[in-house]
Structure 1
Amino acid sequence: MRILTAAAGLALLLGTSLGAAAADVYAPYDPNPAPPAPAAFDYGDTDLVIFLGIGGTVTPQYDGADDYELSPRPIINVEYLSIPGIGAFGGKDGLGFSIGPSFGYVGERDASDFDGLDGLDDVDDTYELGVRAGYEWDHAEIYGAVRYAFGGADGVVGDIGANLISRPTERLVLKAGPTASFASSDYMDAYFGVTTSESFNTGGRLEPYDPDGGFKSVGVAASARYEVYTDWFVDADASYARLIGDAKDSPIVEAGDANQFTFGLGVSKRFSLDLW
């Protein structure tokens, strides 16, 4: 039921985005209307424009799980940054090249909490810290992020993607497009590997497995941001990812589900700061 709820949210958000994009193309009363211009912001001498907020996300209980849980998540997005002597990243209208921090967090995986993992070693909380960069045009964007993971799992993780963008109104921005994630072998081993002793502890239910690094998943994601009041926004996002490669072949995933859904909702505020 939780999977169906997440899938329904994804389908609804994608349908809204695609429907809005189609409405931008033409209407019966005007065969060639001009596309709406992106909302323009005058930040003056501002050096930093950043979105900060909080939300909740429905995600699988662990990578490859077929059950879901609700957890809090921070919203941190650097839209514009100007550094004296170096230059500016991102446009003051939100377009162009942007760069900012990228964070990730994976909660502790206590094997005894899940019937399918009973017998495996626990994995402590994992923290991910890195950088995200992207380039946005009026109606499209590309992006990528890379993070170093430490704690329960060590290694490098990241994701890449692209989006089509629709702006039905000055207050609403819709995005949808393909995504892919990757991870190093150490990270993959922590969440998808099974040692010989762990296999023995499961009574042979999970066979020994030593995954390599590489692409972890491919999928599609969609998001919506609506400005409900000046500089205050409601953010919604949904995604579907299919575990691939060595991740999909893990006996942990075979006992769960390679299809992974997420759905998030939050509130954020745009801050414009004069730093220098």
Structure 2
Amino acid sequence: MTHRLLAGLLATTVLAAAPALAADYETVDTSEVAIVNNADLIIELGAGISTQPAYEGADDYDISGYPIVSLQYLNIPGLFAIGSPEEKQGGLRIGPSFRFIDKRNANDYPELNGTLALDRSYQLGLRAGYEFPVYDTLNIELYGEARYAFNEGEGFVGGAGIDFISRPTEQWEFKLGPRTTFADSNYNSTYFSVRPLESIASGGRLAAYDAGGGFKSVGAAASARYEFRPDWFLNANAAYERMVGDAADSPIVKVGSEDQFFAGFGISKRFSIDLF
């Protein structure tokens, strides 16, 4: 399948590029640099390309760009501090969580003929995780994230999972683990319900259906990360999700696919900023 081939090519690219870059790598303790510079903000910014389902429950796939944003440390003197100026491999981490859902139009997807068009949806929220060591090169992180969707598909969405983390060297980081996603009834109704008029407009091919909230998918995710220069990173990720619950029973998914695949490749840089 096209999306599986693309996911494999993306992962192969990052793994093939890394050894060549490693020869020029010079080790730098970035945490000491941050402390010396009295950094109040340590943030990682970047961008990449990804392939994902064209819509929730689709069997077609799109390629698009995506941002990389990761907050390591934020200090507001006298008020609060989030994270640590040292890049600890463990403990509590809190950062932003966001997702973008593109518009859906039956003119682009014949299997959805009769359904109303949906506008773009934006999701913003927080992610929190706690990482603890198991062996010398193996940690486990428990995490959860919650976001609010607005513009189209308003409602609360989120996810939770476990990551098994391996850092065989200072430059490499690998993650692998199960995860699940969930959404409230408002969100699921937007993307998985079929109104009676939509059912009639589809010629009865899509049965009328009212989706409720709950677990939306279960699956697994993997990622690889390589620091090829001090504060510069290559990032690759892939994930598989299986639709469950009311989402899986939706006629929208039945004419699409319960199996959802994701893959991405990007580059990012860590910035240490003295705000005060």
Q: TM-score range by the shorter chain?
A: 0.7 to 0.9
What is the DSSP-based 3-state SS (H/G/I as helix, E as strand, rest coil) of the residue aligned with 1:175? Answer: strand
Instruction: Give the one of 31, 35, 45 matched to 1:41.
Output: 31
**Alignment-derived partner of residue 249 in structure 2:** 249
Q: Is the 8 A contact 1:80 1:98 kept in 2?
A: no
**TM-score (normalised: structure 1):** 0.86
Could you tell me which of 51, 68, 73 is aligned with 1:75?
68
Report whether the alignment pairs 1:93 with 2:83.
Answer: no
Q: Could you state the TM-score of these two structures normalised by the residue count of structure 2?
A: 0.86
Change (3 A) 1:12 1:135: farther
CA deviation profile, 1:51-108 (whole Å, cap 9, x unmatched): 1000011001111111111011000011122232344322322432121221111011
CA distance in 2: counterparts of 1:129 and 1:8, whole angstroms: 29
Counterpart of 1:131 (choices 121, 126, 134) is: 126
- Structure 1 residue 147: Cα displacement: 0.8
Q: Please tell me the root mean square deviation across aligned C-alpha atoms, in Å.
A: 2.0
User: Which structure 2 segments of 5+ residues have no match?
Assistant: 16-28, 134-138
Superposed, 1:1-276 pairs within 5 Å as 1-5=1-5, 8=8, 41-42=31-32, 43-44=34-35, 45-91=38-84, 92-94=86-88, 95-138=90-133, 139-276=139-276
How far off is 1:49 after superposition?
1.3
TM-aligned CA deviation for residue 242 of structure 1? 0.4
Q: Give the corresponding residue for 1:23.
A: none
Flag as ranges the 4+ runs of structure 1 deviating above 6 A: 9-13
Letter matched to residue 41 of structure 2: L
**AA in 2 matched with 1:62:** Y
CA distance in 2, matches of 1:269, 1:166: 21
Distance 1:214 1:125, change over 3 A: same
CA distance in 2, matches of 1:12, 1:160: 28
* Amino acid aligned to 2:66: R
Shift of 1:142: 1.6
Residue 230 of structure 1: CA displacement? 1.1
Q: What is the alpha-carbon distance in structure 2 between the residues aligned to residue 12 and residue 137 of structure 1?
A: 30
Equivalent position of 1:30 in the other structure: none
Shift of 1:41: 2.8
CA drift at 1:12: 7.6
138-147 vs 170-179, greater mean Cα deviation: 138-147
The one-letter code of the counterpart of 2:107 is: S
What stretches of structure 1 of length at least 5 have no aligned partner?
17-38
How many residues are matched? 252
What secondary structure is seen at the aligned counterpart in 2 of 1:203? coil
Could you tell me how far 1:275 is from its partner in structure 2?
Answer: 1.9
Shift in alpha-carbon separation, 1:10–1:178, aligned structure 2, 3 A: farther
**Residue 39 of structure 2 aligns to a residue in which SS?**
coil
Tell me whether 157-166 or 197-206 shows the greater mean CA deviation: 157-166
CA distance in 2, matches of 1:132, 1:229: 27
Question: Are the equivalent residues in 2 in contact too, given 1:10–1:239 (CA < 8 A)?
Answer: no
Which letter does structure 2 place at the counterpart of 1:176? L
- Cα distance in 1, alignment partners of residues 241 and 255 from structure 2: 17
Report the alpha carbon displacement of residue 241 of structure 1 after superposing the two structures with TM: 0.4
Give the whole-Å Cα distance in 2 for the aligned partners of 1:193 and 1:82: 44
